[in-house]
Structure 1
Amino acid sequence: MSQLSQPPAFAYPNQRVVRPPLPKAQRNRVFIAGAVSNTVLTAGLSIMSLAAILFFIVASMWLIWEFLSPSLSGTYRPVDEMLAAVGLAPEQGWVAVAVLMITMVVGLAVCWAGIWIGKAMIASVGVARPWAVAWSASGILLGTGLIMSSVLSPVAGPLMTVVFSASALSGSGSGAGAESVGIVAAIAILGTLVSIVVYAAAGLLAWWWMAHALRRAE
């Protein structure tokens, strides 16, 4: 009985996908688009998150006071102090809620504008798959920002508290209150400028990476 011969092994074709480098005009436009897009996106996220935090605080205080302490509903409530600080009466609390909700929507619109502006900028010079580049780069930046904030917040928060407290105390004893306020303001401005530079640099690199990875093969 003859033994069956084995079929020949399947050989995959030796094909190498060649992706041309980004032209200089596209590369420069991707750099600018990434820096602008991530800066605008971060600004929108900051607006939306701040409004959401304030909305959560106001809503939580109101719910706790109204539903968990019904016997104290006629007395002074902590949320009334917050409303009075912005010139609103207690019965006008819905105005604060509406403003915060509108602010969250505005922040979301700014986020979308940042992504759309970056996409439009790279599409105008013929970058391949502009929407894919925009969404993938923005997703990478959002994920990286979330990880970095979770790692750095426990350190940055106490550090800034110590710096601000030291500046305030150094001016309170010597009568140099204005000088301490100036120091705190300078630190805040410097921190904002550094943050803008970091966001722009991160956006530049992420958008260039995605545009380079998603370019079409020859």
Structure 2
Amino acid sequence: MTVPNPAPRSAAPQGQPMQQAPAQPYVPPVAPTQPTTPRPPMPKADAHRARLAGGIGGGIAWLGLGISQAAILLLALPFVVSAVIFGVGFALSEGGPSATGGVWPQLGDWLGSAGGIAVIAAIPLGVVVWLVGLWISARMLRRAGVHRPVGVTWAGFGIAAAATIVLGSLGSITIPAFGGLPFAGGPNLDFDPSDTGWGPQGWSGDPGDFDPGAIDPGLLERIADPGQLVALAGPWVALGSLASLVVPIVLSVFAWWWMAHALRAPAQPEAGATT
């Protein structure tokens, strides 16, 4: 007695191999995509408020950075000049202790004075002004109803800073110091070469007769006086810092507007629309 095969296969003719159906390639499932809603154009009022926030808030922020930058330059100037004159003192002493070793005590005294403390305190003060400017910008944008005011503020400042660095690498804007620094106007300094009391004793003005050993170390120490250096260089550093803020503030106006346009709110779905 034979039992029938429950799943009979199609018998192939004798002598020929059985053919199998070709395998189908595997196609991964595709996740359903939702159609993106185009963003509406930014209102003119938001664009105006974004530019205003970039000019006011961004301008205050850049002013804070300018204060810190000027304070750092004024603080570094006495250190650099004192280090150079201290090194020159070794050449004047001919192998002994530096003849201008008094530059470091007077630098330490200046750092503890009211002027030195004011210059040091101006560095964190500028950082605080910078943060206040960014806070004012975000506040102005939030009150105007601009979408993502904090994101617009930080992104706009970052783009303005990057553009400023790029433009600064292409060329710098400097203020020419006509006539040089007014050293001759100092109360204790006199750099008039025609005055016989300025240079080394017995020097006729001929470079061949110049004797470095005849230089008065006290004169060099007076040149390195931090109080006089800061007083003389302060106005020029302040003017240069203010002039360097023009380009970043102009760039901030456009950067704030660009970021407000890029981060504007999407379109609201219509009532009764199904997802």
Shared fold by TM > 0.5?
yes
Q: Deviation of residue 14 (structure 1)?
A: 6.3
For the pair shown, which has the larger CA radius of gyration, 1 or 2?
A: 2
Q: Deviation of residue 135 (structure 1)?
A: 0.6
Q: Deviation of residue 75 (structure 1)?
A: 5.0
Q: 1:123 maps to which residue?
A: 142
109, 129, 137: which one aligns with 1:91:
109
136, 161, 164: which one aligns with 2:178:
164
The higher-RCO structure (CA 8 Å, 6+ apart) is 1
Report the count of equivalent residues: 182
Q: Any idea what the Cα deviations from partners look like across 1:66-102, whole Å, max 9, x if unmatched?
A: 799693377542895xx7xxxxxx6343234432221
Distance 1:101-1:46 versus aligned 2 partners, 3 A rule? same
Letter in 1 for 2:97: S
Q: 2:71 maps to which residue?
A: 51
Distance 1:65-1:17 versus aligned 2 partners, 3 A rule? farther
Asked if the contact 1:119–1:130 (Cα under 8 Å) also holds between the matched residues in 2, the reply is yes
Q: Within the alignment, does 1:114 sit opposite 2:114 as a pair?
A: no
Does the residue aligned with 1:71 lie in a helix, a strand or coil? coil
Q: Deviation of residue 8 (structure 1)?
A: 4.5
TM-score by length of 2: 0.55
CA RMSD of aligned residues (A): 3.6
Which residues in structure 2 correspond to 1:1-218 (within 5 Å)? Answer: 1-8=20-27, 10=30, 13=33, 15-61=35-81, 71-72=97-98, 75-77=101-103, 80=106, 91-95=109-113, 96-153=115-172, 156-157=173-174, 160-161=175-176, 164=178, 196=246, 198-218=247-267
Q: Deviation of residue 30 (structure 1)?
A: 0.9
Asked if the contact 1:45–1:108 (Cα under 8 Å) also holds between the matched residues in 2, the reply is yes
Which blocks of at least 5 consecutive residues in structure 2 are unaligned? 1-19, 91-95, 181-237, 268-275
Q: Deviation of residue 119 (structure 1)?
A: 0.6
Segment drifting more, 27-36 vs 144-153? 144-153
Q: Deviation of residue 4 (structure 1)?
A: 2.1
Asked if the contact 2:50–2:256 (Cα under 8 Å) also holds between the matched residues in 1, the reply is yes
Q: Deviation of residue 37 (structure 1)?
A: 2.0
Query: Identical aligned pairs, as a percentage?
Result: 25
Letter in 2 for 1:77: V
Asked if the contact 1:45–1:107 (Cα under 8 Å) also holds between the matched residues in 2, the reply is yes
Q: Deviation of residue 24 (structure 1)?
A: 2.6
Does the residue aligned with 1:164 lie in a helix, a strand or coil? coil
Which blocks of at least 5 consecutive residues in structure 1 are unaligned? 84-89, 167-187
Asked if the contact 2:51–2:254 (Cα under 8 Å) also holds between the matched residues in 1, the reply is yes
Distance 1:55-1:195 versus aligned 2 partners, 3 A rule? closer
Asked if the contact 2:53–2:140 (Cα under 8 Å) also holds between the matched residues in 1, the reply is yes
TM-score by length of 1: 0.67
For 1:100 and 1:3, locate their aligned partners in 2 and report how far apart those are by CA, in whole Å.
84
Letter in 1 for 2:98: L
